Amino acid sequence: MSQPAFTLGIDIGGTKIAAAVVADDGALVGYNEQPTPASRGAQAIIDAAVRAAEIGRAAGTHHVTACGVGTAGVVDTDGAITHSTDALTGWVGTNVRDRIAGTLGLPTTVLNDVHACALGEARFGAIAGFRDALTIAIGTGIGGAITHKGQLVAGATGTAGSIGHVAIDPPTPRRCTCGRWNHLEAFAAGPAIESDYHRLTGEATRLPDIAIKARHGDSAALSVIRAAASLVGRTLGQVVNLLDPDVILITGGVAALQDLIAEPIRRGIADDALPGPDRVQLLFSTLGPRAAILGAAAVARDR
Ligand SMILES: [Zn+2]
């Protein structure tokens, strides 16, 4: 009998790094998290990722054959970061693949964290079994991914699915984190909702608390959340006209606001989607933060 294959999965985010050994069936062994030393430079981030992976690997006697990494930022085909949020100091230009492979002594593949998350959901989560899926991750930014028959469509430069950087038609212009103007992310990501609430009420409130207020009927909280969700829906309505997916998966921190955002997103899609694409299913993540580890490990195992 051949030895079962295990793969290391690592998820490098802006605030935490998570890692685990992943079995073929998606079971996680030795899951652990480390805070991301985001301001201390690329080597510190790599060291923390390796530490998380080593703790995962030490949790059992599994025969680990490869490592997959999902990371914030755009990842080129050589496993290097070509574009990233300023939150990770010095991350752009880092060849994550070579540095982690060299330290762990394992063949390593690297992909964008939202791409990894979508792939994890397509193999083991809410969109498993769907043919064409569009995933949108709404948190401190807005990312996205396209999957087809359980495989990622990463694009020529690893950027496919960047739905947060689609332009919308806002009442007042805003600059996006990417430096361009009026992209969805600048109006509908978590920080945008928080700043809208602050502008309306004068209160600096974090998104989970704005959600609690909205659930208690606070009209300002309801209006900023619904406005952001509606913009997400309108954008999705245009994207489904282009891609005609079977299903849209909502994930990321804002997905926890499903009870508040599902309806305005649905209505926004209906406003712009053509007959056919307007019937797209709308689902919410079932795997949460585990999805990126599972997806990164799945890519490494496929190679
Ligand atoms: Zn942008």
Res 288: pLDDT: 87
Rounded distance from Cα 139 to ligand 1 centre (Å) = 14
Q: Give me 11's structure tokens.
A: 């998820």
Backbone angles phi, psi at 6, to 5 degrees: -125, 145
Res 87: pLDDT: 84
- How many angstroms separate the CA atoms of 192 and 186, rounded? 6
Res 85: pLDDT: 79
**pLDDT profile of the chain (303 residues), mean per 10:** 80 94 92 94 96 90 92 94 89 97 96 97 97 96 96 93 95 93 97 97 97 98 98 98 98 95 98 97 93 97 90
Rounded distance from Cα 185 to ligand 1 centre (Å) = 6
Res 35: pLDDT: 95
Fill in the amino acid letter for 130.
F
Res 194: pLDDT: 98
Res 289: pLDDT: 86
Res 39: pLDDT: 94
How many C-beta neighbours within 10 Å does residue 2 have? 4
Rounded distance from Cα 169 to ligand 1 centre (Å) = 14
Res 2: pLDDT: 58
**Using an 8 Å Cβ cutoff, are 10 and 48 in contact?**
no
Closest CA to 117 of 288, 301, 300, 239: 288
Res 86: pLDDT: 79
Using a CB cutoff of 5 Å, list residues around ligand 1, an ion: 165, 176, 178, 180, 183
